[in-house]
Structure 1
Amino acid sequence: MKKLKNIITILLFLNSALFSQSSKPTFETGIKALRAQFIPFEYSRDKTDAIPLWGYKVNDLRSNTKTINPFFFIYKNLDKGFGLEFEYSKIQLERANYDIDNIYRVNNTTQYDRYKEYLRNNERNDYKLNFFFYLSPAIKEYFAIGGGIRKIDRIRNSSKDNFTAEEKIIALGPQIVLKSKIPITDQLSLNFGLDLYHAQGKRDYYYLDSNLYYFPSGAASTLTSIKGNGQTKGVFQGYEANISLKYNFLENFNLAFGYNYNYSYFKYEDLNDSIYSYSSFRNTFGYENSKLSNGKEIIRGFYISASTVF
């Protein structure tokens, strides 16, 4: 019995010594190879708008998967109970497309068409800067909570022949940060991260489409121009979730395999574009205001990462 008490005393002493040891601050920097699938809000909006329509179907998006390379750095000071992280990612899509099936009736005869629709070029840049706190030195990195800033630069554009269009949104806003690191062995750990964000910013839009037609009797032209009102905002409300298995080797190097899911619901505020048109066929002018529905935007995929700890 006395021997057992001595063993328990020694274990308690060693445990106390372990948690009282000073942990020096660390700085980790690395890069990811993320096989990302990008679903832009304009595609999800088109698909959602098509669902209630009979005989009109929007099929799955193609050419929307790409390998991107987000980079990051993380500063941790466990003695003082706080950390800091920054991450930047960029994804671009060119010529993403989908098929549209259309069933309709002409002269009491059912007709079927399938045609390919191309999205405009899509680009999204995500910047995030987070500051987080470890709640208790006793549980080390098991749980941390904090806040941060997210910046989203969103661009859609297209240019061909006599057609040019570009939409640019620079959105900025706060986010709530939750993090957890669960050790499995001395070198292996399971890591979780969740950012809840709201970002909004000014939207700039330009659109010009002109066409010239030639007939035996002469030429005719059409012109369409869309002008934004300058007060429109783009709003992203969403979350970014991350889970990874990280392996530390040679003390200062890490390899990780994980999955990242970035979801946002996009909407316009104060949208009121002015559409101007002219046709020389009948020498007519037209004017109307445009209204666009909202849509979800998703970037998701598996990744591997390599990092160095200083």
Structure 2
Amino acid sequence: MSIVENHPAELAPHVSEATVGDYLALLKPRVMSLVIFTALVGIVMAPGHMHPVMVFTALLCIAVGAGASGALNMWYDRDIDAVMQRTAKRPIPQGRITPPEALAFGMTLSFFSVFTLGILVDWFAAALLAFTIFFYVVVYTMWLKRSTPQNIVIGGAAGALPPVVGWVAATGSLAIEPLLLFGIIFLWTPPHFWALSLYRTDDFVRAKLPMLPVVAGPDATRLQILLYTLVLIAVAIAPWPLGYFDRAYGVVATVSGAAMLWFAVQVFRQRQGAAAEAAARKLFTFSILYLFVLFATLLVGALVPIALRIAS
């Protein structure tokens, strides 16, 4: 009897059950949409002129790089994703995509996104994109996430880099403005994610992740949310009086910042039962709107002069 006849199951080729939708899920499309949006703001705000084809190429590469990071994150975190309610239905825990398939997919996208950006747009921008992928996958996912309650604080740098990559893709250099955009997203990440962790604490306990509510408790987390929100609002408003962003942005940053602070105060005050969970959910939801409004204001402010120039 042949070996094949003895062990047909072991030697039979694996037939993937993954659909296109499963591979799209690996890219974390919600996170990717935020990356594309903030990178676009960085490109449009940059001085000079960038050809629309180059803009599209840069955004596509940045988006694919972000998707690659998401796929590699899901590959490495497949063990904790399987036990968390929020992530249990992802393609790898469900068995529709195997870990080797996800790893190959993520590595391939990483390689092509970085080298395409370098060859067709700018090598400095490509190097920053490579660093962003490395920081998210290795520094955050493989190290910080499982070792320290400050994982979101430090790891937030990866999510704050896309507007910097966009600016560098357009100019080939750094400036104060993209660093200000970086600072806003960097300080926004902790209150945004800690609000989520307050009403998803059981998930993180099951996964044995040292999130702040698990390690320090919900009250300490509420205080940190309030403190980070205060610093975020100050940093978000500061570019207006410093002369980097215009008055329209300053007004929007002030008004939306006041609303963000109100939601953070409610999280700090509401500490029991359904009211506490509702307050955390509202802050998490509003924080997304807050960041969108800030960057949308900057995008519109940068596009209006371009539109007027084209019209004239």
Q: Under TM normalisation by the shorter chain, which class is it? A: under 0.3
**Structure in which a larger fraction of residues adopt strand:** 1
TM-score (ref. length: structure 1): 0.24
TM-score (ref. length: structure 2): 0.24
